[in-house]
Chains A and B, each alone.
Chain A
């Protein structure tokens, strides 16, 4: 693994590294999503409802949740890449003061890949099978910088070395199917880092990879992010990944962020009943796997409330053992239960 100084273009090293060392450095989050609501067009259905989160420079924010909770849609919306029937119904996505929710296509084109980049889940499909890797890697550089052909090639080689691709000269001419899954994800990461983005959104970047490769990729994220001071928004359903790399966690359930806190606080002291139940399911190190119920692993009873059934009440109400009349009557208010620990649950409001 190359040292941190090799991880960024030389010009950027000094200021960015200083910033990374002086933590908590920035006075303002680089990406600030406020009350983002996504709807299925021409309906009242809102798969993502009133979501707010901040990504600070130099931190890894993990957004966790089960399949279908809206975390991928949130990521796509942040890049303004929502697939057709889904539209932004309200809220703001502020990147360095610019509201992306209001930005024009031309503005977005300047921002995408330069200020903010995104990594997709499956490295098998994120690269064009009929275009050599090098050509694809040089695309963002050709768009966003004035580097010459030779310079973009040099930069691509440098990036490949940074993400630990051996023999990068040959890889540049290779087609994606000639690389392994882990290698492909490294190429994708290198491609997205090409222009030193301030925010990198990674949508389940390690889900399609096996565990050893997953650990390597997470290590690369950690190193690069430490060295460049960029903010990383890591979308995942894997609590192991969260515990391993994240600084802060936002837990999503049924389209809402129900709890946000520093990772150690979430793991040590989860407040929301859903987070608690989730951690009970994941935690096998806290003791032997409970054998009381015929050797079954712990689970959360019931299933996620369907989109059409959700309304102005807590969506977790039918699976929650602490639910009462208030939970049925109104959406829980946000409460900062401890410094930096925000929870959306009526139960936490109780004295």
Chain B
């Protein structure tokens, strides 16, 4: 009886079944928004003019057929610049999210599982957390040539400690579980415990954390670019676009409204996605006891 019921529920393709699918309208919209920006960034060279082409005759034009989202103070096509900027935002957001998650996961695992390493690692983490993000980023862009790489590095450094703390806390609680003791009792060494038993438990909370880091990295890149400590001035990053056009705030508000709205939309989309992950995997949503 119990067997029959169990059989009916057994997954035929467990891994395929675990791929998250959009469950609701907001999540579908979020996925669509992210994909839209990705497609625009890739397709921009084909459907829009050069984002850096200066046409003084056509400066500060409103939305029209020739320039879909108008032009900025130098007569550059805003649609092209925003599409290009979306690519930068997504690149920075994803790179920061993936890099800081991977590094944080590795360091957090070691810190949580090995007691002696924990003492050293957590002091270093505390030290990094004491450095203000903005100060670090400004210092790094001053020292090195401004580029995507430098911005990503400047954002990864302060984000790694956040991941480390989450992962370490989870490892500390997981390592006392009976199944970890049982694994040790069957001769599994530290590497096996970490890879086979702890990692699968950590991926769900990590994926939630990763999505939030991605959203905050997009916002921070724009912020850094806005104050001139991020992307180089000629690059059409959303922060740069807003910074360049803030003097036309009254006469041509669309020049900062459109990039601002795009930024809000993309960050909201990433956050919604993160929330749906939390709903799936977050507190109390673990499979089994």
Contacts and interface: CB of A to CB of B under 8 A. Distances in A.
A109 B189 contact: yes
Contact of B10 (A129, A130, A170, A194): A170
B181 A120 contact: yes
Contacts of B196: 128, 131, 135-136, 139
Nearest to A137: B186
A50 to B, nearest CB: 25
Contacts of A43: none
Contact of A175 (B14, B185, B187): B14
**Interface magnitude class on chain A:** 35 or more
A127 B179 contact: yes
Given A129-B289, A130-B287, A178 B186 contact: no
Contact of A173 (B10, B177, B185, B189): B10
B6 interface: yes
A125 B179 CA distance: 6
Interface in A284-333: none
B178 A179 contact: no
B289 A178 contact: no
Contacts of A109: 187-189
Given A120-B178, A128-B179, A177-B289, A79 B7 contact: no
A43 B188 CA distance: 31
Given A109-B189, A143-B192, A179-B6, A81 B286 contact: no
A140 B287 CA distance: 24
A317 to B, nearest CB: 35
Contact of B184 (A81, A124, A132, A176): A81
B288 A118 contact: no
Interface string A94-121: 0000000000000001111110011010
A139 B9 contact: no
Contact of A130 (B6, B192, B201): B201
Given A125-B178, A131-B200, A143-B192, A112 B289 contact: no
A79 B178 contact: no
B182 A166 contact: no
B11 interface: yes
Interface in B1-60: 2-3, 6-7, 9-11, 14
Interface in A136-171: 136, 139-140, 143-144, 166-167, 170
Interface of B, secondary structure class, is helix
Nearest to B189: A109
B186 A139 contact: yes
Given A125-B289, A130-B287, A135-B196, A170 B186 contact: no
Nearest to A144: B187
B183 A124 contact: no
Contacts of A175: 14, 287-288
A282 interface: no
Contacts of A112: 184-187
A209 interface: no
B185 A118 contact: yes
Given A167-B7, A173-B10, A139 B188 contact: yes
A95 B177 CA distance: 27
Contacts of B185: 79, 81, 112-113, 117-118, 120
A1 interface: no
Contacts of A130: 200-201, 286-288
A22 to B, nearest CB: 30
B67 interface: no
Contacts of A131: 196-197, 200
B34 to A, nearest CB: 27
Contacts of B183: 128, 136, 139
Contact of A110 (B182, B187, B201, B289): B187
A129 B286 contact: yes
B182 A188 contact: yes
A180 B6 contact: yes
A191 interface: yes
Given A122-B178, A130-B287, A177-B289, 12 more contacts: A109-B187, A112-B187, A113-B186, A113-B187, A126-B182, A128-B200, A131-B200, A139-B196, A167-B3, A175-B287, A175-B288, A178-B10
Interface of B: 2-3, 6-7, 9-11, 14, 177-179, 181-189, 192, 196-197, 200-201, 286-289
Interface of A: 79, 81, 109-114, 117-118, 120, 122, 124-132, 135-136, 139-140, 143-144, 166-167, 170, 173-180, 183, 188, 191-192, 194
18 contacts: A112-B186, A112-B187, A113-B187, A120-B178, A128-B179, A128-B196, A128-B197, A129-B201, A129-B286, A129-B288, A130-B286, A132-B14, A140-B186, A173-B11, A174-B6, A177-B288, A180-B2, A188-B182
